[in-house]
Amino acid sequence: MADEWEDAKLRHPVGSKTHGVVRIRRPFGVFIELDGSPEVIGFLDIASYNPDPPALDLPEVGAKVSAEVAFHDEQKRQIRVRVGEPFWNGS
């Protein structure tokens, strides 16, 4: 798993655009199977979901998502992503 995690970080560097499919949906966020790295979980939390145009709810299971890599969560071994501008930018 360590090699898969290191490979996923190289494939999805912080600040890059990535794509995937929602596999699990929860009230707090969605878990995404990222293109090219199905063995590593992508995670989009509700606070990082700010699409343009605005949406009322998180994407459904099976939906395709285009996002920006926000950071690599070393402890959970997740690629954390966001859609749109961060909420703290005031947009």
User: pTM value?
Assistant: 0.89
Write out pLDDT tens, residues 13-72: 999 999 999 999 999 999 999 999 989 999 999 999 999 888 889 999 999 999 999 999
Q: Kindly list the domain boundaries of the chain, sorted by start residue.
A: 2-89
Q: Does domain 2-89 have CATH number 2.40.100.10?
A: no
What CA–CA distance (Å, rounded) separates 10 from 54? 31
Contacts of 61 (CB under 8 A, 6+ apart): 22, 23, 24, 25
